[in-house]
A and B are shown apart, each in its own frame.
Chain A
Amino acid sequence: MSGDALAAAKARAAGFGRWHPAEALVWIAAIAAYFVFPGYMALGAQALILVLFALSLDLILGYAGIVSLGHAAYFGIGAYAAGMLSAHLGWHEPISGLLVAGAVAAAYGFLTGVVLLRYHGLTLLMLTLVAAILLYEAANAWSDVTGGFDGLLGITPAPLFGTFEYDLWGRTHYWYVLAVLFICFLGARRLVYSPFGRALVGLRENTRRMHALGAPVYWRQVQIYTIACAMAGIAGGLFAQTNAFVTLDAMSFLRSGTVIIVLILGGVGRLYGAFIGGVVYAVLEDELAKASPEFWEFGIGLVLVCLVLFARDGIAGVAVRLWQRWRR
Chain B
Amino acid sequence: MTLDIKAYEIMLEAITPIAHHEGTYGNHATVFRRKLRQADGSWASVPFVTGDTLRHKLREAAAWAFLDAAGLLADGTLSEAALRLLFNGGMVSGNGDSSAIKLDAYREMVDLVPPLGILGGCAGNRVIPGRLTVEDALLICRESEMLVPEWMLKEGGPRDTARAHIEIAQRVRMDSSLDPSKARLLGEGAAAKVKGRLRKSEEAAETGDAIATTEAKSSMMPRTFETVAAGSRFAWRVEARCISELDVDTFHTMVAAFLSNATIGGKGGTGHGRIRAIAAKGLTVNRPSERLEAVDALSLSAKLGEVFRGHVKARAEKAREFLRQVDA
Asked whether A and B interact, the reply is no
Which residues of A does B touch, CB under 8 Å?
none
